[in-house]
Structure 1
Amino acid sequence: MQEVYITKIAKFLPNELISNDEMEQYLGLINGKPSKSRRIVLRNNGIQGRYYAITKEGKSTHTNAQMVSLAIRMLFAEHPEDIKSVELLCCGTSTPDQLMPSHAVMVHGNLPESSSIEVVSPSGVCCSGMHAFKYAYLSVLSGDKQKAVCTGSERVSPLLKADTFDAEAEKIELLNNDPYIAFEKDFLRWMLSDGAGAFLLENKKSESGISLKVEWVEAISYANVMESCMYMGADKNEDGTLKGYIDHSPAEILDKSLLSIKQDVKLLSENIVKLGFTKLKDILAKRTFNVDDITHFLPHISSYFFEDKIAKILDENEISIPKEKWFTNLRTKGNIGSGSIYIMCEELFNSGKLVKGEKILLAVPESSRFSYVFCLLTVA
């Protein structure tokens, strides 16, 4: 087995930072009326800025694949020719630009200066970027590859625009704006952001600057016991099962706004923290790792609302992590789904604050059907 190091991290955030008060200028008004839930959601999630790959007129400025390719090029900004030595490209996202071809081959198509290599597209939601990372990590660890690039990215803004909901706006109005229904449909519009992050993985440390040695990566799914919580391209039945878009008529797809992202908020709040962060205790025990040795804790959270809930669960499981060790940039970058953990790592990695020997714990929960990925890194 080889050792595996993250030697470079880069990001791409489209256009300019968008404040809370500017959001509806980009996303529009559903049924011509300001959202009733926007201020409530923003107050709870603590996000103050985010990035959209669209203009105020709704015109796309970048595809998802373009944003990823720009982040990857940033990895090789000093030596562009080094991109030819990459042997593997793994790209995770919740929001590919199309169903076929796969997201990663579209990214590869935007990098004509690279070589003809193995390309992998893990599907999923927030964990898809970490699954891409784990595939790349295992490939280098096993000696199958010497150098790999993995990415996490999202382009959700087109799905959040008002016209995505227009077909059912009248139905929502007929329901007298029932608070729960309005919240379920409107909730994620004020949570999500666009962007891309990329890691370069190698079997040796960087010759200049720091690297992050990958100690281990652990992933787990609770889909065997939990129903779907966040979904797109489907309708949820009363028994908790999903009826996919492929079993709906074109008219039903529009009428039920199946291309919008929906979330069962009650199911989310009852389970997302409890399941994964209770399991973390078992993972640390399996890996014989003492939680006190963590220097930096990077939890991917969709909202600061969950921060104290995570801390409480960690306390209850006797794996407390002091808040001064926590690091997140949700407030200034927004929730970029599968790209968030990459963009957090990029900011910390390039901050100049890391010291060799420090331990970094990454935690990525996914509410889609309750999946989690945890990873331990050592500054080298």
Structure 2
Amino acid sequence: MKGFGAAISAISYYLPPKVVDNRALVEEFGTWTEDKIYQKTGIRERHVVDGELVSDLAARAAEKLFEEHGVDRDSIDFLLLCTESPDYYLPATACVVQDRLGLKKTTGALDYNLGCSGFIYGLALSKGLIAAGIASRVLLITADTLTRTINPKDKSTRTIFGDAAAAILVEASDTARIGDFVLGTDGSGMDKLIIPAGAWAAPRSPETAAERTNKWGNTRSAENLYMNGPEVLNFTLATVPEAVSRTLEAHSLKLEDVDLFVFHQATLLILEHLRKEIGIPPEKFFMNMENKGNTVSATIPMALRDAADEGRLRPGDRVMAVGFGVGYSWGATIIRW
């Protein structure tokens, strides 16, 4: 083992082949325009599953990681899978993926249920496993098929969310290239971004399956994803700037010392509000949701990979990664690329 520091050494991701663009949504709903959807969300198209399971997306992302970066699957000591849409109540989907990938049977594997801040929490867990000497190489996968939970007649969420999986290799390093973490939770906001029914608190029933249409013309049942957009925006503006300040303080840095900021790719509206509130220059603020949509826990690692591929993120750069959303939960850290 190199040491008790931790570093991201590789990222790959997988997008399901089916694409739904804004034109298709306009034709389906007969309201809004392609440009209006883009101006509100920053999204022109999103990839969605067509029957695939989270284990399918996760395994394909991991296989791309092994192939693109020459990673030996036998070197993986631990598999962490972040998902809100597991294949089964039990067993853990991580066990399914371990078998699909042919990882050695001495590999630890577990799921954890978290959404938009899930990548940050996964980095913290990976770093902890390495620091404790439990693992030397952690395969962190963030994967979701959230569009399966969206009512087809709910344009408020269909315009935003897409499906994807990202595979991240976190390994022991002589230097701590993954910094300290600022994490937070406010469960009082749980009902603002939720699938109200379908688990044990509210089992499926004819009542939970009943669809209702709100005054904006969006239809859903209690078994579908619900998001209170204004309240989520208020939470974000109240929480993220402070998290950024605390993260800078924890690393003895100033805003100008950070080379690139990669936030959870929520929507253009939310990200532009945050960028202006915090005072981040546009050239240091990376966004890539235009052709992917909001893919929940996979947005930040996909953005990191794209930023590196585009030359926006270079070796030695300091990047601040910030996740926020469902729970409510949030997290931030500094990564030395």
TM-score by length of 1: 0.78
Q: Which deviations, in whole Å up to 9, do the C-alpha atoms of 1:3-39 show, x marking residues without a partner?
A: 11111110011115442113478xxx5xxxx254675
The alignment status of 1:255 with 2:210, answered yes or no, reads: yes
Q: Deviation at 1:245?
A: 5.6
Q: Deviation at 1:128?
A: 2.5
2:323 alignment partner, SS class: strand
2:224 alignment partner, SS class: coil
The alignment status of 1:112 with 2:114, answered yes or no, reads: no
CA distance in 1, matches of 2:247, 2:334: 11
Which residue pairs with 1:321 in the alignment? 280
Cα gap change, 1:249 to 1:373, in 2 (>3 Å) = closer
CA distance in 2, matches of 1:79, 1:272: 35
Which residue pairs with 1:195 in the alignment? 164
Which residue pairs with 1:375 in the alignment? 333
Q: Deviation at 1:133?
A: 2.5
**Residue type of the partner of 1:111?**
L
CA distance in 1, matches of 2:6, 2:100: 27
Q: Deviation at 1:298?
A: 0.5
Q: Return 5+ residue gaps in structure 2 as ranges.
A: 212-220
Computed over aligned residues only, the root mean square deviation of the Cα atoms, in angstroms, reads: 2.6
1:373 alignment partner, SS class: strand
**Residue type of the partner of 1:106?**
V
1:1-380 to 2 correspondences below 5 Å: 2-23=4-25, 34=29, 36=31, 40-54=36-50, 60=51, 62-77=52-67, 82-160=72-150, 162=152, 185-204=154-173, 213-223=177-187, 226-234=189-197, 246-248=201-203, 250-256=205-211, 257-314=221-278, 320-366=279-325, 368-379=326-337
**Is contact 1:136-1:201 (8 Å) kept?**
yes
**Residue type of the partner of 2:89?**
L
**Is contact 2:265-2:288 (8 Å) kept?**
no
CA distance in 2, matches of 1:302, 1:78: 28
Q: Which deviations, in whole Å up to 9, do the C-alpha atoms of 1:85-111 show, x marking residues without a partner?
A: 100000101222332222322222321
> What is the aligned length?
325
TM-score by length of 2: 0.87
Cα gap change, 1:67 to 1:212, in 2 (>3 Å) = farther
Q: Which deviations, in whole Å up to 9, do the C-alpha atoms of 1:294-316 show, x marking residues without a partner?
A: 001111132111133102321xx
CA distance in 2, matches of 1:275, 1:375: 15
**Is contact 2:265-2:300 (8 Å) kept?**
no
Percent identity (aligned)? 17
Which stretch has the larger CA shift, 149-158 or 38-47? 38-47
CA distance in 2, matches of 1:83, 1:371: 32
CA distance in 2, matches of 1:161, 1:227: 20
**Is contact 2:82-2:113 (8 Å) kept?**
yes
Q: Which deviations, in whole Å up to 9, do the C-alpha atoms of 1:191-239 show, x marking residues without a partner?
A: 000111011111138xxxxx9921223211122x54521001439xxxx
CA distance in 2, matches of 1:104, 1:24: 37
Q: Deviation at 1:346?
A: 1.6
**Is contact 2:65-2:71 (8 Å) kept?**
no
CA distance in 1, matches of 2:236, 2:134: 35
Q: Return 5+ residue gaps in structure 1 as ranges.
A: 55-59, 166-184, 206-210, 236-243, 315-319
Cα gap change, 1:161 to 1:116, in 2 (>3 Å) = farther
CA distance in 2, matches of 1:114, 1:37: 51
2:81 alignment partner, SS class: strand
2:246 alignment partner, SS class: helix
